[in-house]
Structure 1
């Protein structure tokens, strides 16, 4: 059975802890709010978090269509697949790289995505086996790099960009997360992790800064509850930032050469 996906976007970071999964979930929901059919693949095999962030009950398991084909789980209108749906989330995945890569391919190939306009892939941090498997096996439209303005995060983000360039995956842009914090008492804005870092690497690699996201308590609270800000508070600044980012992504993807969309075949 084949699926048709218009565009596949990898959301990646050079290091953990920069908010990549939070960005992925909200980008997917913001794209769905534009009337698109959207899926999310949680490719972070060792640390899956999309199920929790999207409010999926920990006991949820995908319906099986046949011996090796699964239906994705519905979460806020998104079609979602994650290793968290197949194992006890409290059990560590003590797997070598090739095993994790095989699991990623199975989640990707053996899910009945159906017809999607966009599939967002929440990548694990770093530049390891799963990233290479993605580049070799998945027809990716482009990558979004998530970083914070902090120097150490920027160094790792640059490595991620270099990796995608080497495997000929276009970098659609940079999302600078935790760019600033606004005091809830006085309204003063402070760049806790530095400033201008995302712009510097964007200029270095000729890629746009898609957005600068604030460090906000409300976002953390909403993600912990499984109701991301795009749907919890669509009129608030955080949600509007994500809406602006996906508008740019949609425009960039639509400007790519005309194609029928990649076909995902089950093996």
Structure 2
């Protein structure tokens, strides 16, 4: 049975797509079959981390939503791109990107789409590809498709920075997630300065929101240098960021 994990943040720029891609890689490294869906349709980007040119993709999530293809036709096997050794003997990663074409994004803004199609597509994709995990990279903030993704999730990774605006938005999202009865709620504090005491920050955030903190991830030059051109956990598994992310993977598998 597929376990669904949504990664969400109330505001943009928290690093949720980077976290999603790295978690997907770490799960696949353990031999799991992983699917990743970019539902940030208005500002897609996770495909870049997997080295995929979205404009070169035959189909995208948009094509599925407009009835141009099946959900599985839009899925792209990015295992070889994600793993430095090509992923031989490991699990797999299939990515369902959203379109980067301005016309497609404008159509979503103008017409919207049938949100129920997303739920149907998630179920079909999970069954057809026999996925162990389906990771959903959501659109920041609260909208209809985000609420759907959260509602069907087994785990919600809620990403926030040590920033008061993030704290306020996180409180709103957590309240919604609790009302939707999401089984597992986990906070991921990202972009913490190296001078911060990670344990104290984790304890403070966990107490304030009455929710476990899965990890405190540092603001690191490694990611800045990488510039979204790859997955840090694959390229530099011993980096501070990669090591700090491992407890998240352990918890979502618990």
TM-score by length of 1: 0.76
User: Deviation digits for residues 143-198 of structure 1, max 9, x if unmatched?
Assistant: 11100011111111111111111111134311000011xxxxxxxx434xx99565
Say how many residue pairs are matched. 233
| Aligned twin of 1:207 | 211
RMSD: 3.1
| Aligned twin of 2:147 | 132
Q: Distance in 1 between matches of 2:10 and 2:247?
A: 23
Q: Is contact 2:154–2:184 with CA below 8 Å preserved after alignment?
A: no
Gaps of 5+ in 1: 181-188, 252-267
Gaps of 5+ in 2: 83-91
**Quick one: which of 28, 52, 69 aligns to 1:32?**
28
1:99 to 2:123 alignment: no
Taking a change above 3 Å as real, the CA distance of residues 215 and 162 of structure 1, as seen in their structure-2 partners, is same
Q: Is contact 2:71–2:124 with CA below 8 Å preserved after alignment?
A: yes
Instruction: Select the structure that is richer in helix.
Output: 2
TM-score by length of 2: 0.79
**Quick one: which of 144, 159, 174 aligns to 2:172?**
159
Shift of 1:133: 2.5
| Aligned twin of 2:52 | 56
Taking a change above 3 Å as real, the CA distance of residues 111 and 134 of structure 1, as seen in their structure-2 partners, is same
Taking a change above 3 Å as real, the CA distance of residues 50 and 16 of structure 1, as seen in their structure-2 partners, is same
Shift of 1:102: 5.7
Taking a change above 3 Å as real, the CA distance of residues 50 and 236 of structure 1, as seen in their structure-2 partners, is same
Taking a change above 3 Å as real, the CA distance of residues 90 and 56 of structure 1, as seen in their structure-2 partners, is farther
Taking a change above 3 Å as real, the CA distance of residues 239 and 201 of structure 1, as seen in their structure-2 partners, is closer
| Aligned twin of 1:222 | 226
Q: Distance in 2 between matches of 1:97 and 1:198?
A: 42
| Aligned twin of 2:237 | 234
1:9 to 2:5 alignment: yes
Would you identify which runs of 4 or more consecutive aligned residues in structure 1 move more than 6 Å?
Answer: none
